[in-house]
Amino acid sequence: MSEVKPNTIHYGFIFDGNEKLDEVLVMLMRAPHTYTAEDTAEIDCHGGIYVMQKILALVLRNGARLAEPGEFTRRAFLNGRIDLSEAEAVMDVIASGSDDALKSSLMQLGGSVRRMIEDARERIISEVAYIEAALDDPEHMDLTGYPEILRGRVEKLRGELLSFAGTFDQGKIMREGISTVILGKPNAGKSSLLNCLTGEERAIVTEIAGTTRDTLEENVRLGGMMLRIADTAGIRATDDVIEKIGVERALKLAEHADLILALFDSSLPLTDEDEEILRFIEDRKALVLLNKTDLAPVTTAAFLRERAKKPVIEISAKMGEGIGELEKSVRELFFAGGLRLNEQTVMTNIRHKEAVTEAAESLALVLAGIDNGLPEDFYTVDLMDAYASLGRIIGEEVGDDIVDAVFTRFCMGK
């Protein structure tokens, strides 16, 4: 390989002794211009499992070994090509289930978190250096009035960190999807709505009330968002043991859901079951869907809006109408109508939230020290604690146990 020109692709055949295994392309790349910042060779063969296994066995017999989970990305991190937040973003890109999640992950892979953390740490260390220099040379550097200057800078930085941590709930929803439960009485159109959103006949739809007796869960992409939707048994009093269990399970799921889609039949007046659902969603995050708008209305949107005190969206699950308005309402409910991923870095990692929260707490201690008139050298202790906490995010203040925990999440190799 040392005699071959770097960053070139070579065509040929792979042989195991006299046996021709496959027609391949071999790419040879030199450090540091590779994913791991090390010399790399890649074999592109035909995609059959059997032929890949044959080539892999041949390579292993000649001294190679299988990569550990996340080993390539780990090598990139250890070789300084990426920081730990960017390494975590690699797995987030792979696991992305929506446009928003993918955009956020790509921003972090491009260094958006790293740049924010490096800027914060530079501002902290600048204050520490100034304090230490002034204490070492009091004849030439005067700290008179400095605590108030420091207060303003620390308050500003702490506000920025808390604002970043405050995006975690949105980031978690982008990453994992919105846990959503469709709730309604029998024959309100819950299964039809699920089928409409998935674009497939995933749920059985009949005129017989109580057809759905258990929950059916599907991942649905609604615009750029992902919803983890559960279609549930119709809410009603019943003597059927199995259906009764389904109703209980539906309410239990709804209690813990991020979003409830409360479905009502516009062609019928509200029933006791409808009233029960309205009471259930009073203090929960919910959207009211008035279904079957393709039929003559009996219950109107205006009446239901006044009764529910929630946003009401008119839809026809059968005809696929009103889904655009549903998408808009979900986005407004969870992302204030317009999370601007091109401008805002969103926190998606609980490890990052813990580190940023700890840094903000350390900065709060700096402010308390200023309020209490403590000597300036006390400030540096808490400033350095904040500096270290932020360093954990990008991998500069972590032990092997944290690194191991991060990379065990990866799929094999990558």
Architecture (CATH level 2) of domain 175-335? 3-Layer(aba) Sandwich (3.40)
User: Could you tell me the fold of the domain covering 8-66?
Assistant: Gyrase A; domain 2 (3.30.1360)
pTM, two decimal places = 0.76
Structure tokens, 234: 């119709």
Positions of CATH 1.20.120.430 in the chain: 85-167+346-407
| Candidate CATH numbers 1.10.3720.10, 3.90.1150.10, 1.20.120.430, 1.20.1290.10; the one for domain 85-167+346-407 | 1.20.120.430
For the chain, 414 residues long, give each residue's pLDDT as a single digit of tens: 567 788 899 999 999 999 999 999 999 999 999 999 999 999 999 878 999 999 999 999 999 998 888 889 999 999 999 999 999 999 888 888 778 888 888 999 999 999 999 999 999 999 999 999 998 888 778 888 999 999 999 999 999 999 999 989 888 888 888 889 888 888 888 888 888 888 765 443 444 344 444 456 788 888 878 888 887 665 555 555 555 566 667 777 888 889 999 999 999 999 888 888 899 999 889 999 999 988 888 999 999 998 888 889 999 988 889 999 999 999 888 876 455 555 578 899 999 999 999 999 999 999 999 999 998 889 999 999 999 999 999 998 777 777 887 887 776 567
CATH 3.40.50.300 domain position(s) in the chain:
175-335
Query: 326 and 198 in contact (C-beta within 8 Å)?
Result: no
Dihedral angle, C-alpha 323, 326, 332, 334, nearest 10 °: -110
80: its two tokens: 């300084």
* Location of each CATH 3.30.1360.120 domain in the chain: 8-66
Q: Which two tokens stand for residue 54?
A: 């044959």
